[in-house]
Structure 1
């Protein structure tokens, strides 16, 4: 019997609206002209996860599975609520979709639980630590009918970058959501490697997005800079963090391109569009019967991408060295995403 993941999730009482009708199929192989229905469950609405979703559909398209032609997509956003994520997954199972794509750890854990006793495969993306989330074993192999891609942050490269840009900095602040397994795991990685670069990690845990304001206001008085994780709740409140950091004249480092566009100084992070494309190609193999999710170890992007924002640097009075800007994608304006 497969082990059910326990993540402190209560079932949300709200009903998810009707969003189409899925076509059930238990066949292990499908012909090239088969039509598919995929339910995409996204945990939060922000740039990196949106890029994952767009990349996922692009990866499928490159493999001949195209929305509006032979693919029906059901899409729901949990708005950072784990109970809603569970309800969304249950809804997809009841509609007997051909696959669930789960974007971010809470949605992946919910989808795995909901689809456990069915033949519906789950493909996840934007999961920092599939092992810690109990979606893979210590060797990276699937624990069931589930696989996908990890957005594990290049922590060493991020610390090296911060040291290059801030040679005198001593304390790095990190705000994270205590209920997000991915964030808890990444915090431990930061603590492990920070001393190698002469840093001390100052952490503050929060429970909801309402806690971001107070946490950021307190954090900026204790640290030389803040580094942002792929924490969905904190990313959703990024402008609040940036507001306090700007008032204190300290930089915030991002974990991917959208955060840098929106006001973080720089990042050694993940290209979420590429990660989504990689996930879509994995999903296509499963849908076409070329592979089984249960037999596919999770994958990840091994090389970080570097980003910098010169408008932010100018406002903070920080000179970005050529050794960094030559390898980074550089933006010269701050573009705040619409809420």
Structure 2
């Protein structure tokens, strides 16, 4: 840990040696002042908020507790790439012990900013770590960076959508062209959609300002829509849902929070659990048990089925009983975001 020495303070030779040998994130106890972590979150929406909540819970489970031996500097970029860069630079300038980066743009920015320092970066909610240039093809770090992936269970999603909508022909996806995670997911959907009888229609956007017109255009061409873990699109999901509901077009989500606020169903992961997994990885680094550069990216392998029966009722859709009984959670109301 980095020590603040008061002017004129006399220390013993032993204390001086210990302080000199204590690098960023290497102290078992966190030092006199504890640990300082910078959390860079790309956007404000439920799944990323859940990641942050889970991350802090994972640290706490390992004895690193905010307000006791942990100081957290939380910054949200509100989906702005320029702000994301400023956040990363500020964390590096202030010499935090570790950066937690939530979502792909934040992870890329944090790694680039910290690359020439000894500050480790731990990311979460990065869909394709290789495409984001954070790992190699085997999931091993490209540098002092590691974390967890929220890679979508795309084939399970397609299978579920086909079961619920046996007659649907066209499937729409809106995505941000600058988000590596979304581009990667689109490529996988393109490869698999035909196997489940869907013609895929995609619409690319650049900013949230594009969402309303893009949604109108997409809804005019498709029988249903599915969402990715695209941060810009998810942040504007209420707008998309409002327009889709007017036209009785079902919208599928990619995780639990999207189903809560009005998506019909999702095969997705538990973002709180993903965050907890990430927090435990970060704890190992802070305690000096492992280096980020030697820790492979991790994933949650088992998706869960989430459904909103109120949405199904509003759209006049009958969910197969087998799916209902398999649901991790079944919501009977729509919760405003």
* Ranges of 4+ aligned residues in structure 1 off by more than 3 Å: 22-25
Distance 2:171 2:253 in 1: 13
Name the counterpart of 1:87.
86
Name the counterpart of 1:326.
325
Structure 2 counterpart SS, 1:137: coil
Larger Rg: 2
Offset of 1:336 from its aligned partner?
Answer: 1.1
8 Å CA contact retained: 1:251, 1:265: yes
Name the counterpart of 1:248.
247
Structure 1 counterpart SS, 2:266: strand
Distance 1:223 1:304 in 2: 26
Deviations, residues 154-183 of structure 1 (Å, cap 9, x unaligned): 000000000000001111100000011110
Name the counterpart of 2:139.
140
Offset of 1:268 from its aligned partner?
Answer: 0.2
Higher mean C-alpha displacement, 30-39 vs 304-313: 30-39
Name the counterpart of 1:155.
154
Q: Report matched runs for 1:83-232 at 5 Å.
A: 83-232=82-231
Offset of 1:29 from its aligned partner?
Answer: 2.9
Name the counterpart of 1:17.
none
Distance 1:241 1:49 in 2: 19
Name the counterpart of 2:15.
none
Closer/same/farther in 2, CA of residues 173 and 73 from structure 1, 3 Å limit: same
Distance 2:54 2:240 in 1: 27
Q: TM-score normalised to the size of structure 1?
A: 0.92
Q: Report matched runs for 1:17-28 at 5 Å.
A: 26=23
Closer/same/farther in 2, CA of residues 47 and 281 from structure 1, 3 Å limit: same
Pick the aligned partner of 2:29 from 4, 27, 32.
32
Name the counterpart of 2:12.
none
Deviations, residues 274-301 of structure 1 (Å, cap 9, x unaligned): 0000000000000011111000010000
Structure 1 counterpart SS, 2:38: strand
Structure 2 counterpart SS, 1:255: coil
Offset of 1:200 from its aligned partner?
Answer: 1.3
Structure 2 stretches lacking a partner, 5+ long: 5-21
8 Å CA contact retained: 2:30, 2:287: no
Closer/same/farther in 2, CA of residues 185 and 264 from structure 1, 3 Å limit: same
Distance 2:297 2:28 in 1: 26
Indicate whether 1:239 and 2:262 are aligned. no
Higher mean C-alpha displacement, 132-141 vs 25-34: 25-34
Offset of 1:32 from its aligned partner?
Answer: 2.6
Instruction: Provide the aligned length of Structure 1 versus Structure 2.
Output: 316
Distance 2:261 2:25 in 1: 44
Structure 1 stretches lacking a partner, 5+ long: 1-21
Closer/same/farther in 2, CA of residues 36 and 80 from structure 1, 3 Å limit: same
Offset of 1:28 from its aligned partner?
Answer: 6.3
Distance 1:267 1:147 in 2: 27
8 Å CA contact retained: 1:146, 1:294: yes
Offset of 1:322 from its aligned partner?
Answer: 1.1
Distance 1:234 1:27 in 2: 36
Structure 2 counterpart SS, 1:186: helix
